[in-house]
Structure 1
Amino acid sequence: MEILSKQEIELLRILQKDSKFEITTLTERLNMSRTSVYERIKKLESEGYIKDYVALVDPKKVGLNFMVIVNVSLNSQRIEYVEEFLEKVNGLEEIMEAYVTGGIFDVILKVVVKDPDAFNDFVTRKLSVIPNISKIQSSFVMRQIKQTTVLPF
């Protein structure tokens, strides 16, 4: 992995907080020319440091008021069964995040839906029909305390 310059690190920090940047602001903060800023951004994109630019949408504003953390245990850890499960999970739009974990559960999912009825429908019609699941445990989010996309580097 290539070592980033101080200017590149600062550029990443700025873009993490607001990718709708004003080029003038970036040139002033980084003490770089417009061309240099654009070249650094293109470099960081091509090397995979910057994966994408997105709009962070407030789920409640679009009617998705119910967040659930779902812990899943699988019957078998055989790679083909795990891969099949992960492939099916990736196709479910209600799942915002999915993690293969060590410990008590094999997978942790962050699910966002309209309400408890929609969650029940999601579990009974979509999640629980995936082969190889032995246990599903859900925790309903009462209040979100922190959410960030900014990495602490």
Structure 2
Amino acid sequence: MEELSKQELELLRILQKNCRFDITELTERLNMSRTSVYDRIKKLENEGYIKDYVALVDHKKVGLNFTVIVNVALNSQRIEYVEEFLEKVAVLDEIMEAYVTGGIFDVILKVVVKDPDAFNDFVTKKLSVIPNISKIQSSFVMRYIKQSTVLPF
């Protein structure tokens, strides 16, 4: 793996947040004028159907080779304690996805880091110091079977 420069890494960060489409390709595929395509896109954006434009970056190419599914049980389900926990995990860059769930665990997290040592640092220095955690259980991803951002409609 070739190491990327700081500028290249920053470019990836920007593209993940705001990746634009090719308007010419869209007009040809949809058989619409540029103005019509822009108007439709603007409408979908304004109505919240389009949330963002991103570039999907291969996590292994940028050195994030270790994915972990983390189940977290909380001591209390009082709304103020749960909200505090959710606010704190929402700002942790290592967490790619977070879900409040029913059942044995209260929250499921998808964490992506460089290696097991980085995961240990994440748990000991960032996750376990958040108040209201009673149990953390981790499952290490051995192989990806399917990953998709395409909704089936």
TM-score normalised to structure 2 length: 0.84
How far apart, CA to CA, are the structure 2 residues paired with 1:22 and 1:66? 33
Structure 1, residues 68-97: CA drift from partner, whole Å, max 9, x if none? 000000010000000000011012111111
Letter in 2 for 1:90: A
Determine if the alignment matches structure 1 residue 82 to structure 2 residue 82.
Answer: yes
Instruction: Letter of the 2:72 partner, please give it.
Output: V
Q: CA deviation at 1:138?
A: 0.2
2:72/2:105 contact within 8 Å kept:
yes
The Cα shift of 1:145 comes to 1.0
**2: CA distance, partners of 1:63 / 1:36:** 41
Question: Hey, what's the Cα distance between the residues in 1 that align with 2:69 and 2:132?
Answer: 19
SS at match of 1:142: coil
Q: Which residue of 1 aligns with 2:136?
A: 136
Query: Identity rate of aligned residues, in percent?
Result: 89
Displacement of 1:20 after TM fit? 5.1
> Paired residue for 1:100?
100
Residue 38 of structure 1 aligns to which amino acid in structure 2? Y
C-alpha spacing 1:91/1:21, structure 2 compared with 1 (3 Å): closer
Partner of 1:11: none
1:116 aligns with 2:103: no
Q: Distance in 1 between matches of 2:116 and 2:73?
A: 22
Partner of 2:73: 73
Root-mean-square deviation (CA, aligned residues, Å) is 1.2
Gaps of 5+ in 2: 1-18
Length-normalised TM-score, structure 1? 0.84
How far, CA to CA, are the matches of 2:110 and 2:36 in structure 1?
39
- Looking at structure 1, the residues matched to 20 and 52 of structure 2 have their Cα atoms a distance apart, in angstroms, of 12
Report whether the alignment pairs 1:30 with 2:26. no
Q: Distance in 2 between matches of 1:26 and 1:57?
A: 23
Q: Which residue of 2 aligns with 1:61?
A: 61
Note the 1:2-17 alignment, pairs <5 A: none
Distance 2:96 2:54 in 1: 14
d(CA) in 2 for partners of 1:133, 1:21:
42
